[in-house]
Every structure is written in C-alpha cells, then in structure tokens.
Chain A
Amino acid sequence: MKGKTKISIDYARCGESGRVDPRTCGICLRVCGPAVFLLHQPLGAVEENPYKPRQWRVTAVHLSLCTRCMKCVELCPEKAVTVTW
C-alpha cells in the first residue's frame, strides 16, 4: 500500500470525556479485520479506584496493517473515526 495511513479518533465523541464509552460500543475494534485499534486507559488518567479504571479510549496503533477498507469510518455510530493517507 502506497504512503502511510493516518487514523484519528475524535475523543470529544468517543472516549473518557466523550459521549460514548468504547467498552460498550467497540464497533471499530471488531469491524477491523487486522485489529488496528487498541482499547486502553488514557495515559496519566486519574482514577478513583485504579484497580477498576473507568476511563477508556481507542487508539489506532497498528497503522501499517490498515487495509483502508473504511469500515470503521462507515460504521462508527459517533462518526468519530477519520482515516486518511
């Protein structure tokens, strides 16, 4: 695949301060064949109970494996995913 893929998530729509908790949605995580996305706690998050974290977000980590199928963009109910190259 030519060039490098860039994928961003709008955390105002999905993530620790967004409308959606990615643990309950998770559509992008599962629609993506090569499993490009990672569900994780934001770095430096302050948790009331660190053993039971409540803040989660999604980051596209395995960018070079993205096939640019655009399923994640299409199916994200929050329109939070952008894929460009």
Chain B
Amino acid sequence: MCELCMKHGAGGKWYLNARHYSNEIVEKYNLRDFLMEQYTNFEQMQVRPVMGFNGVGLGYRVRIPIIGRIIKGFAERMLTSTNPPTNPFRAEGHIGQVVPLEDAVAILEHCAAEPIIEKNCMCRFMSRGIEEACCINFGVMSEIIDKLPRFIPEKEKYHLTRREAVERITAHNKKGYIGTIWFGPFPYINNLCSCASPECAGIRPRVDYGIKSIFKAEYVIEAHADKCTGCRACISLCQFGALSWSWTLKRVIVDQEKCYGCGVCRHACKHGALSLIPRDSFPGFDGEY
C-alpha cells in the first residue's frame, strides 16, 4: 500500500474511503470558497509566484544541484500537505494517484458524492486550447463548476447519473486515457480524471521534473510471454513508455520501473497477455509508488 493509503485509507485504499467524499469535510474546512477561488483562476497557477518563483523554466531550476532538491522538497511538501489549506492560488494538498478502470468504477459506484458531473478538462484546455469533456467531479465541486461556464461542455450532457458516469469513464479508459483520482485539497476527494501526457498538469511534474505530484497505481502490469502473439497493439496505448517491442523475442517486454499501473494497455490486448498485479506483490519495488 502506498503512503496515502497507510495514512488515510482506514485499512484500505485511501480513495475507497467514502469519508473523503463527504460534504461535511467541505463545511469543516470551509472549502467552498477555497475551491471557487481556485477554479476561477485555475490556469494561472503555473505562472503565479510561490515563494518568489513561478513555474516558468522550472525544469532548469530543478536541475541546479542543491537548490533543485530544495525546490522539489518544497513542492512535494506543498502537494502532500495535510494542514488546512490556506492559499487557493497554490496546489496545496493536491495529490493524486493513478487508478485502473476497476477502481475508478468502484469510486463512482460506492464513494462519489452527488451531484456527479463531467466537465471540460482544464489541463487539455490550458496546454492545447482544446475543450474535451472527460473530467468527472463530485459533490460540492460539481456545484462550483456549475458557475464557471468555461468548464461546462457545450454539446454533451454534463450532469450525470452514476451509471452514465461509469459509462463515460469506461469509454475514456478504453481509448487509453489514464484514470487518476485526486485530493484537492486534502482531505477532500472531488476529481476523477481521464488524463493524457504531457498535457496533464498533475502527471507532468513527476514525469518531466521528478517532483512526486502523483503516486503510481496500487498495481503494475504483467505480460504473459506465452500468450503474447506479437501484434503490438498495446504499445501505442502506454503513455509512459513502459512497453516496448523486442525484435529478438518477437514479443512485448515491460519496463516495470516505468509502468504507472493505469492498466489501459490491457484494453488493446485481445489475447489476455496483459494483466495487473498488486504493486506490493512485485518484489523489486520495496514500497516505491
């Protein structure tokens, strides 16, 4: 189990702990105003200075020997903060984890607070100028998005029943979008996203800058050599470069170190050659998420 589950899972996975979805948390921490402020100004976060620095050229700064480590440490402490959030212009307590489709469905069926909506993904909008409805929100967060027209899809129905939400996340996952679930801010869970790299602002700090902004899933992929026919359909679905083609073996090989456990590659395999196994059961990781 990852650090988040140990601290906030009440014995299970943190994101299947229904307490984190309740409106009581929102009222207790007064998160309504916080979230309204944050999402009204969402796209600015990367250019707004925090401790004198903003995100422009961050990649160069994290490479500076000692200073880089300090910046990373500061960013990670901010993202995993469990203090009552104070500054809506920073990603305080905004930490998430990759979830495979099965867990995403369990979240929607058993945990998500109503109303459930699907808004335009802010990451795709702010990095590509593209509006795509694929970001599922719950409870108070949905009510906030109701007031922010740029996140409301023009064509699709966006207030969803639980069943419709399950259908949407299933469709996105099958396309190859990465399921992710987020505290935002801790201890409130309100976003179930279908992410794409490099656009996702939550995955990017980790992939591009080595800042742990997201935990890998509680799973890792296993390829069954005996079942792989070598069709290569799975390779293009992996957004983390964890699957590659071996010219020598004439089958797909896995780099478990790169695998985030999203499980989307499984949708491409018609031969049952890919399955997820619990990350804890993989001997090499030693608690690394």
Residues of A within 8 A of B (CB): 4, 22-23, 26, 29-30, 34-35, 37-41, 43, 50-53, 59-65
Q: Is the CB of B148 within 8 A of A39?
A: no
Is there a chain A Cβ closer than 8 Å to B51's Cβ?
A: no
- Chain B hits for A59, CB < 8 A: 47, 56
Q: List 30 A-B contacts (CB under 8 A).
A: A29-B129, A30-B130, A34-B198, A38-B46, A38-B127, A39-B126, A39-B127, A39-B129, A40-B43, A40-B46, A40-B47, A40-B126, A41-B41, A41-B44, A43-B44, A43-B47, A51-B147, A51-B149, A61-B46, A61-B56, A62-B59, A63-B56, A63-B57, A63-B59, A63-B60, A64-B57, A64-B58, A64-B59, A65-B59, A65-B198
Chain A min CB distance to B31 (Å): 18
Write out, one digit per residue, whether chain B residues 118-152 have a CB within 8 A of any chain A CB (1) or not (0): 00000001111110000000000000000111100
Q: Is the CB of A4 within 8 A of B198?
A: no
- Counted as pairs of residues, one from A and one from B, with CB atoms less than 8 Å apart, the total is 74
What is the interface of chain B mostly: helix, strand, loop, or mixed? helix
Is there a chain A Cβ closer than 8 Å to B199's Cβ?
A: yes
- Chain B hits for A39, CB < 8 A: 43, 125-127, 129
CA distance A38 to B148 in the complex (A): 19
Contact residue among A26, A38, A62 (Cβ-Cβ distance under 8 Å from B43): A38
What would 7 more interface pairs be, CB under 8 Å, given A39-B43, A39-B127? A4-B60, A39-B126, A41-B41, A61-B55, A61-B57, A63-B59, A64-B60
What is the interface of chain A mostly: helix, strand, loop, or mixed? loop
Q: Which residue, A23, A35, A50, A51, has most C-beta atoms of chain B within 10 A?
A: A35
Which residue of A is nearest B197, CB measured? A35
Contact A51:B148 (CB < 8 A) given known A41-B43, A61-B47: yes
- Chain A hits for B148, CB < 8 A: 51-52
Which residue of B is nearest A24, CB measured? B129
Q: Is the CB of A62 within 8 A of B208?
A: yes
Which residue of A is nearest B43, CB measured? A40
Contact A35:B57 (CB < 8 A) given known A30-B128, A51-B40, A51-B148: no
Q: Is the CB of B198 within 8 A of A60?
A: no
Q: Which residue, B60, B126, B127, B129, has most C-beta atoms of chain A within 10 A?
A: B129
